[in-house]
A and B are shown apart, each in its own frame.
Chain A
Amino acid sequence: METTFASRMRRRTQRKPLNKGDIIFNVFNYSVMILLVVVTLYPFLHVLAVSLNDPYDAMRGGITVYPRKFTLVNYIETLNYSQIPWATLITLLRTFFGTLTSLVSTAMVAYVISRRDFFARKFVTILFIITMYVGGGLIPDYMLMRHLGLLNNFLVYILPPLINPFNVIVMRSYMDSNIPDELPESAMVDGASDFLIFRKIVMPLCKPVLAVIGLFIAVGQWNSWFDTYIYCSGNPNLTTLQFELQKILTSAAASSTIDYYSTHDPHRAMKVTPESLRMAMTIIVTLPIILVYPFIQRYFVHGLTIGAIKG
């Protein structure tokens, strides 16, 4: 109570004297903030505008944040390009299954090491924490995937990134401070098994932290491209949206798309340009993130306080 009163007092006392320096500072501060907003949003709006504009008209330049000659042809042609619907499916599958398995695994490990009475608690905790600081590196990882037969295999999207120790620590801190020790103990007295306690008591109490970590895992799955590049580039059936965009970006894939059209369907090759295809792809890949963003936004303040408990 006292702090809220004090801060209210502070606000009142601060609001009164608005001298010249304050006014200049406010003008400066608001200008910086508006500049930040413009610099952040302009690129997205510009890319959106170009992707919705006639490709040949766009080449004249001068488009800012709204399309000059509206058309959906870029999107239609992108989605018609054989790889894209398939890449969308694979991306959705890896995001869904990757997030689900990762979340369940993270929660299980976090719960077990949050149990003070578990006999191997320290061993398991240290085992996970060490991997936060040292890893095999690019080539040993690659060799492992090869030996396990995970090259050009869908499971390479799920198994290697299964558990991030950082998420385990965050979730454990949340459990430590939100689940009183007496709760599992009393359930145990009633004859509930540890697994039942985890499922029926701990999980429901952990919904907020599960939401935050789940969203971060999902964003990570949706956004990753390098695993496709290094482990799955030999199998076009395992391509992902980010990887397709990366191909367009770093190689001449955009023009090869046009080449693909010009050999298979010369009429269609004329409709789009590499640049307009790239802009449409960029929006397709970004859109889901922007759509789930409000949810992340709502939860992540919570996520921050969870992290803050850790210190």
Chain B
Amino acid sequence: MKATPLVDDKVLVPVAKRSWKKIIKKQRYLLLMVITFVIWILIFRYVPLWGWIMAFQNYKPWLPITQQEWVGLRFFKEIFQDPHFYRAMKNTLGMSFLGLVVGFPLPIILALLLNELRALRFKRTVQTISYLPYFVSWVVVASIVFRMLSPTEGIVNQILLSLKLIDRPIAFMGEPKYFWWIVVLATVWKDLGWNSIIFLAAISGIDPQLYEAATIDGAGRFRKMWHVTLPGISPTIIVLLVMSIGHLINIGFERQFLLRTGPTRDVAEVIDLYILTYGLGAGRFSFGTAAGVFKSVVSLALLTFANWVSKKTTGYRVI
């Protein structure tokens, strides 16, 4: 490196003189403040990544790392021959997709409707109440869902019975055909209000003069919603949509774990539950890790693709 002077405020210091030793001595407190957490992240976030090698070994917990037997792609082959794995993929993508189709437009609609409210106190009250379920745990939500859908005491059955839509209570939680819908609708109930915030923020960023101009041009409420509000928030919509597509496989397992019952186990088994049951639960560590590695790789590919799409269409990066 040439000794080109580095402009540091008003003082000119030759680069050669700023040796590592000096820098480290000068910034020792900064270094001390962060070094513990660098070690922490290496242990707690990077060592598990290194644990991916288990997927290529026939890992036996009682043997030291150096004596593990290498098996190449054996466990990946086993996974792709396992019908349960395809079922888990189907459940994961199916529930994700249903969640996207049902759950994505609703917060946008809610934000548009909230934006049309002129009574500000009423608006604020509705908002406050609608955010509340976001803050309670999935365990609580699951407990509430079981109660609401109970065939004996649940209000959903009571309403359906009194409307004469059914003649006999339905045991919703025990019917596989309802399970995906229950997961998706419970998620909507929990997150709808919270997810509308980002769209409300985007709406509040729209230039009021656009509305004014539209009014002068004789646009009514709906035309203003359609021609001003929606185009104004469409970059936000596209970025969030692309991001959700990037996360299609990262569905998690909490909801499915908590809401499943004996009869619905097969339709509840998403990829992480598959790993939990057939990997960790059965003591097949390498097999489970291989499934996890596969999921991570697909997830990264999806995210990269989503990022590329977002950059092409809106110019925003999501990663």
Contacts and interface: CB of A to CB of B under 8 A. Distances in A.
B30 A282 contact: no
Contact of B29 (A41, A194, A250): A194
Interface residues of A, number: 95
B172 to A, nearest CB: 15
Nearest to B216: A13
A25 B221 contact: yes
Nearest to A278: B143
Contacts of B221: 21-22, 25
A127 to B, nearest CB: 6
Contacts of B125: 37
Contacts of B23: 119
A133 B319 CA distance: 8
A142 B316 CA distance: 36
A144 B47 contact: yes
Interface stretch (A68-76, A109-117, A255-263): A109-117
Given A138-B276, A144-B44, A47 B30 contact: no
B41 A128 contact: yes
Contact of B129 (A30, A37, A224, A289): A37
B40 A47 contact: no
Given A139-B54, A198-B33, A286 B140 contact: yes
A139 B289 contact: yes
Interface string B43-61: 1111111111010000001
A25 B225 CA distance: 13
Contact of B143 (A63, A140, A282): A282
A270 interface: no
B132 A290 contact: yes
B48 A10 contact: no
B155 A42 contact: yes
A143 B37 contact: no
A244 B283 CA distance: 25
Interface in B187-202: 189, 192-193, 197-198, 201
Interface string A1-36: 001001101110111000001100100011011001
Contacts of A29: 113, 116-117
B52 A140 contact: yes
Given A143-B285, A225-B137, A10 B212 contact: yes
A225 B50 CA distance: 26
A137 B129 contact: no
Contacts of B37: 105, 108-109, 162-163
Contacts of A46: 147-148, 155
B88 interface: no
A43 B199 CA distance: 26
A195 interface: yes
Interface in A187-230: 193-195, 198, 219, 222-226, 230
B159 to A, nearest CB: 11
B220 A118 contact: no
3 smallest CB-CB distances across A and B, nearest first, come from: A136-B48, A140-B51, A137-B292
Interface of B: 23-24, 27, 29-34, 36-38, 40-52, 54, 61, 110, 113-114, 116-118, 122, 125-126, 128-133, 135-140, 142-144, 146-148, 152-153, 155, 189, 192-193, 197-198, 201, 208-209, 211-212, 215, 220-222, 254, 257-258, 272, 275-276, 279-280, 285, 288-289, 292-293, 295-296, 300, 303, 316, 319
20 contacts: A14-B215, A15-B118, A25-B222, A36-B110, A40-B132, A109-B33, A111-B33, A118-B30, A119-B23, A135-B45, A135-B49, A137-B48, A138-B288, A139-B280, A140-B49, A141-B48, A146-B61, A163-B37, A219-B135, A249-B146
